Amino acid sequence: MVDFAILETTRLEKLRVATLNIWNKSGPWTERLASIRSQLTALSPDLLGLQEVLRFVPDEQNPPVPAPDNDQASEIAQGFGYNVAYGVAADYSGGLKFGNALLTRYKILDSRTFRLPGADSGETRSLLYALLETPWGRLPVFVTHLNWKLHHGVVRTKQAVYAAERIFVLAPVGADFLPPILMGDFNAGPQADEIRYLKGEHVIDGRSVYFADVWDYAEGQGPGHTYARDNAYALENGEPNRRIDYIFVRGPDREMRGQPSNVRLAFEQSVPGADGTVWASDHYGVVCDLSMTVKE
């Protein structure tokens, strides 16, 4: 006879994750900032990965003290209760930095930045890593931004391989971690080698990996173009519609932690501005929920 009173039950909870390339301070930044913060209020993600984040802190200020008046990530996060991790991708000298950021509701246990290969291409890119303490366990999160030029597929492929290798080093399979999350602006469509490699659909030098593309896994509606010609800021560059912003998760695991659901575009709303329509960025973002489990 089974004593149901002692059986362990499991309750599913959700972790909301979003990503957005904020387009540095291009365009009407003050109005764009207001739009980003308004839409952030509605989305209320637990984690938000940001790319093209500017920080201006004098080089002699070591360690740097980011604040809303010198750091775009802090400016966006102000008043929301987020902790901020930042990783430099390019140093423009004089204290001006360009990079990736993570806004998180959880304690940051560790944060590091890794330089991606391809600096000889004329662009410098990085991978931001943060280890978070969450109610469900330790969560490794990675935010990145790959080379942007359309003909730089060979560089982006090297960068994707490097990012995957870093993830497996910092969050080995079988270690006591929640499924790692990788997100950002990959500047490549779903059929590109660099994206197919991450999704387990392409082998490079005898190596393969698997991360779930949350848009595919959770069956996002439509093509999911995040660089879209219905956004006037993107249209100005004359590029085709593309889905180039992603959230990947190395999962779900055996407990179904990390299973994506409710995926959709984010930060896609436009509002009237002083000189015409204002979008949050030249990119749209992506948001999804990832399952977490609580044993009772």
pLDDT in tens, the chain (296 residues): 444 444 456 677 999 999 999 999 999 999 999 999 999 999 999 999 999 999 998 888 888 899 999 999 999 999 999 999 999 999 999 999 999 999 999 999 999 999 999 999 999 999 999 999 999 999 999 999 999 999 999 999 999 999 999 999 999 998 999 999 999 999 999 999 999 999 999 999 999 999 999 999 999 999 999 999 999 999 999 999 999 999 999 999 999 999 999 999 999 999 999 999 999 999 999 999 999 976 66
pLDDT of residue 4: 45
Domain 12-295 homologous superfamily, CATH:
Endonuclease/exonuclease/phosphatase (3.60.10.10)
Instruction: Report CA 242 to chain centroid distance, whole Å.
Output: 17
pLDDT of residue 1: 47
Residue with tokens 């003909």: 151
Which structure tokens are listed for 158? 């090297």
The Cβ of residue 13 has, within 10 Å, a number of other Cβ atoms equal to 13
Could you tell me the CA-to-CA distances from 206 to 118, 197, 210, 213 in Å, in that order? 21, 11, 14, 22
Could you tell me the CA-to-CA distances from 176 to 172, 245, 268, 290, 293 in Å, in that order? 9, 28, 36, 18, 14
Which structure tokens are listed for 208? 């393969």
Where does the chain show beta strands of DSSP type E? 10-21, 47-56, 83-91, 96-104, 107-115, 126-134, 137-145, 181-185, 212-213, 245-249, 260-266, 270-273, 276-279, 285-295
Contact status, residue 186 vs residue 244, Cβ threshold 8 Å: yes
Which structure tokens are listed for 105? 């509701």
Question: Residue 227 gets which letter from DSSP?
Answer: B
**For residue 84, which of 71, 93, 69 has the smallest C-alpha distance?**
71
pLDDT of residue 136: 96
Contact status, residue 52 vs residue 98, Cβ threshold 8 Å: yes
Domain ranges for the chain: 12-295
The pTM for the full model equals: 0.95
Q: Where are the alpha helices (DSSP H) in the chain?
A: 29-43, 72-77, 153-170, 193-198, 214-217, 232-235
